[in-house]
Structure 1
Amino acid sequence: MSDKTILVVGTYDTKDDELNYIADVIRGQGGAVRTMDISVLGDPGASCDYSKHEVAEAGGSSIQAAIDSGDENAAMQIMAQGASALALKLYREGVFDGLIVLGGTMGTDVALDLCQALPIGVPKYVVSTVSFSPLIPPERLPADVQMILWAGGLYGLNSICKASLSQAAGAVLGAARAVEPPDFSKPLIGMTSFGKTVLRYMVSLKPALEARGFEVAVFHATGMGGRAFESLAAEGAFAAVLDFAPQELGNHIMGSTISAGSDRMTHAGASGTPQMVSIGCYDLVDFIGWQQVPPKLAGQEVHAHNRLLSSVMMTPVQRREMARAMCRQLSGARGPVTLFLPLQGGNEWDRAGGPLHDADGLAAFCDEVRAQCPDNVTLVELDAHINDPEFSDRVLADFDEWMATGVVKP
């Protein structure tokens, strides 16, 4: 008896040998396999557990419709929609425990949608000729996907590509055996932050909230962390969110590739999740440290955080733009929202006397927040810095009020 089952997905009309090799490795390690064909024109050498016809139909279409489209992009989007719907249905039915998808650009395009459809905690592996490529925008990457470059394997098996394929096969089976899926039986709070040298509120807030009966997950707001946070918020996984590091939104509107997407700061509101929001690192735009500063930010002061990451200080005009963007994202929230505005600054470097202090920029941002704050948001101004105890104390006091009134429940 096999202990875990892996769903192996790909275009079996052109990648039959490679996909069967992956399946053989999984079986050789004691796992079981289910196969799904996302081909359009051709047929596999042997039948798959889930045929291309079943895949297309799961998305409300058909293989004939894909062929009749006369466009390979349109055809593969039909298959992406069907594969995503079918895989989610099969996972909910307990058919498989982990997923592996093989492809070039076409297969990878489908794989990203398919992996995005499955919950966090389901092992998802993509073997691709474009793994880690800038072709893949951050917002297309599922929060917990694993990728490996399919080196030397564009056409046919060889010893080079077998090294990648066998690693991926063993990795997904091992992950399926070892994974401890999220346990949502305990109410979960999602918090965004950066490291303790920049933002410190999590040091006191996390244990205090845990003492109140909650589990707290802190997301590193550097692009993919925000995607994971937004993905869970969209599912309604959080009892409440403490979204105190909105910098990814600023990155996005200023053109940085370190983005969590245009929908950052919207999914908690859309799901009706209670939100507490603040301004951690609102004044900085992160960009890739080994690349040139984006043209929009040229000439502005730069802080090199490390060799991977640098930050540009926003001008007062740009901070007003950030304030408007935050207010705009929060305006559609269906649940309660409190925006804490610490008037003395939003990161450790911008304190009075600090290396990135800009009193005029902070004042401009605060003025714009006051002017643009939507009616559905409660604005709380604090004569404190975000890293001061007074900030965390007020957050806890308001959170306790939410608990007392039943807005959040332990």
Structure 2
Amino acid sequence: MATSPLAVLLLGTCDTKLEELLFLREQILQANSQIRVILIDAGRHEVKNDAIIISRTELVSRYGSNTPLTTIDGLPRGELMEFMSGCAAKAIKELLSRGDIHGVVSAGGSGATSLASAAMREALPVGFPKLIVSTVASGDTGPYVGETDITMMYSVVDVAGLNEVLRDILTNAGAAIAAMAHSYVARQRQILQQHDAADGVPSKRRIGITMFGVTTPAVDAVRRHLESSYPDISLEIFVFHATGHGGRAMERLIREGRLDAVLDLTTTEIADHVTGGVMSAGPDRLAAAAQAGIPYIVSLGATDMTNFGPIATVPEKYKHRKLYKHNSVVTLMRSSAEEGTQIGRHISEKLRLAKDTSMVQLWIPRGGVSMISTPGGPFEDQEADAALFGAVRERLEGSGIEVIEDERDINDGGFARDIAEALAKLMGLEGQRA
């Protein structure tokens, strides 16, 4: 629980946005007179103002790894923004570790947004209040938000001089971050009280499950089974949409120690990584749970497909492939036998790095890895399935990781029940059934 007075960190480039940042600062103070605002200047040029708590020079000298200011002054704009973002992230981490801040807010254009968002992603956990008023908030915010919960507010006009519109928006932003910070402190106090009441024993067992549209019946069945079979255990289930950002978000929570077990039922993001689809979670997907040593069951849900946008956006080299219109904005491509081999190998190699292989299982639903790859379905392809399953068996042989082959499809109710029970057993929940 925070012990310091309520405080919001305001991050910005004071050499270009001082007037706007000072107005935002004033709105935060008006929203809650008990809040302290810590203004950090991450600009290129030094600015003197009594409201600045950590100046540009102080930020670099304390958090810049002894990099001379003369070196910083000569950096190109992009490199400067990256450097100052790194310094800001270190400052935020330090303040957070001491309980000295309870929310972070920023305002600016694309450069300032890039700087602030990178610092927030690096330094702040999911659930901590973070808000950016930005000129780019109405476009593709994925590169800024990533797998975190950054709230972005569109500035409508440029953050370049105060006017009626921008004043209204910055006023809203000030009120929003003040309320978010107040709520955050109240939640932290409640969590601490619950923790003390439970004598330090976690009150909930937290399970992450990955889902896609074509594996939804399985995930719903798993969730219902666990919740109904273990009512005396406080299970909290987090379902992540395996869209790239969803997989990364789950892995971030794992690294933050906020998941106790994972049923990675839907590993479709690996297919997109292998083929260049639009929903890849990157090359390190699957690593977090394996390396954390927590109960981890993996299946092959939706690895029969790569995701693209509208059919016109499918790359020319894939135009001849088996394509399926999922909806007006999503086109699916059936994984080939060669791609299935690559997918299977990638999954297996990641799992072989597990901290404790006895806590990892891989389940193969031979009857179909999605609702459209079952017999008679549009993505039925026994050759591709055989290549995928064979690659998994081959690469996990001798690894200590148990491979369970099941003749049912992934959405079969019995398969869902059995894989849920397998996870419960790894979690040590057996004997506590309803």
State the TM-score, normalizing by the size of structure 1: 0.88
Asked if the contact 2:295/2:426 (under 8 Å) is kept, the reply is no
Which amino acid in the other structure matches residue 207 of structure 2?
I
For 2:265 and 2:48, the matched residues in 1 are separated by 51
Please tell me whether the aligned partners of residues 46 and 56 of structure 2 are also in contact (alpha carbons under 8 angstroms): no
Name the residue aligned to 1:58. Answer: 63
CA RMSD of aligned residues (A): 2.8
**What amino acid sits opposite 2:126 in the alignment?**
I
Q: Is the 8 A contact 1:338 1:380 kept in 2?
A: yes
- Quick check: 1:85 aligned with 2:80? no
- Where in structure 1 are there 5+ consecutive unaligned residues? none
Q: Is the 8 A contact 1:343 1:382 kept in 2?
A: yes
Matched, 1:187 2:205: yes
Letter in 2 for 1:123: P
8 Å CA contact 1:198, 1:347 repeated in 2: yes
- Given that 1:40 and 1:63 are in contact with CA atoms closer than 8 Å, whether structure 2 keeps it comes out as no
Structure 2 partner of 1:23:
25
Matched, 1:348 2:383: no
Taking structure 1 as reference, are residues 276 and 22 closer, same or farther at Cα in structure 2, changes over 3 Å only?
Answer: same
Aligned length in residues = 403
1:123 is aligned to 129
CA distance in 1, matches of 2:111, 2:75: 15
Q: Distance in 2 between matches of 1:47 and 1:63?
A: 25
Q: Shift of the alpha carbon at 1:278?
A: 0.3
Offset, 1:151: 3.4
Q: In the TM superposition, what whole-angstrom CA distance separates every residue of 1:254-290 from its partner, at most 9, and x where no partner exists?
A: 2123232332111112222331000111111112237
Q: 2:318 aligns with which of 297, 316, 329?
A: 297
**What's the CA shift string for 1:3-44, capped at 9, x where partnerless?**
953211101121101111111222222262221111232314
Using a 3 Å threshold, how does the CA distance of structure 1 residues 185 and 58 change in structure 2: closer, same or farther? farther
Displacement of 1:391? 1.6
Corresponding position of 1:7: 9
Q: 1:361 aligns with which of 380, 384, 388?
A: 384
**CA–CA distance in structure 1, aligned partners of residues 236 and 429 of structure 2:** 20
Give the 5 Å matches for 1:237-248.
237-248=258-269
Structure-1 separation of matches of 2:350 and 2:117: 26
In the alignment, the residues of structure 1 paired with residue 127 and residue 71 of structure 2 have an alpha-carbon distance, to the nearest angstrom, of 32
Aligned to 1:42: 46
Q: CA shift at 1:223, angstroms?
A: 2.2
Task: Name whichever of 235-244 and 68-77 sits farther off.
Answer: 68-77
Answer whether contact 1:41 1:67 (CA < 8 A) is retained. Answer: no
Greater per-residue helix proportion: 2
Please give the alpha-carbon distance, in whole angstroms, between the structure 2 residues aligned to 1:399 and 1:136: 32
Q: CA deviation at 1:245?
A: 0.8
Q: Are positions 1:287 and 2:293 aligned together?
A: no
Residue by residue over 1:364-396, the C-alpha shift from the partner in whole angstroms, topping out at 9 and shown as x without a partner, is 211222222261432111111111133223323
The match for 1:383 is 407
**Percent identity between the two aligned chains:** 29
Q: CA–CA distance in 2 between the matches of 1:264 and 1:119?
A: 19
- 1:24–1:306: structure 2 CA closer, same or farther, 3 Å change rule? farther
2:291 aligned with 1:266 = no
In structure 2, how many angstroms separate the alpha carbons of the residues matched to 1:233 and 1:337? Answer: 15
Instruction: Provide the C-alpha distance between the structure 2 equivalents of 1:244 and 1:351, rounded to a whole number of angstroms.
Output: 16
Name which of structure 1's ranges 167-176 and 267-276 shifts more when overlaid on structure 2: 167-176
Structure 1 residue 350: Cα displacement:
1.3
- In structure 2, C-alpha distance between the alignment counterparts of 1:7 and 1:282, rounded to whole Å: 43
Partner of 2:109: 104
Contact residue 341 and residue 387 of structure 2 kept, 8 A:
yes
Residues 97 and 164 of structure 1: CA distance in aligned 2, closer, same or farther (over 3 Å): same
Determine which of 304, 307, 310 is the counterpart of 2:328: 307
Give me the TM-score of the superposition, normalised by structure 2.
0.84
Residue 209 in structure 1 maps to residue 226 in structure 2: yes
Q: Does 1:228 align with 2:228?
A: no
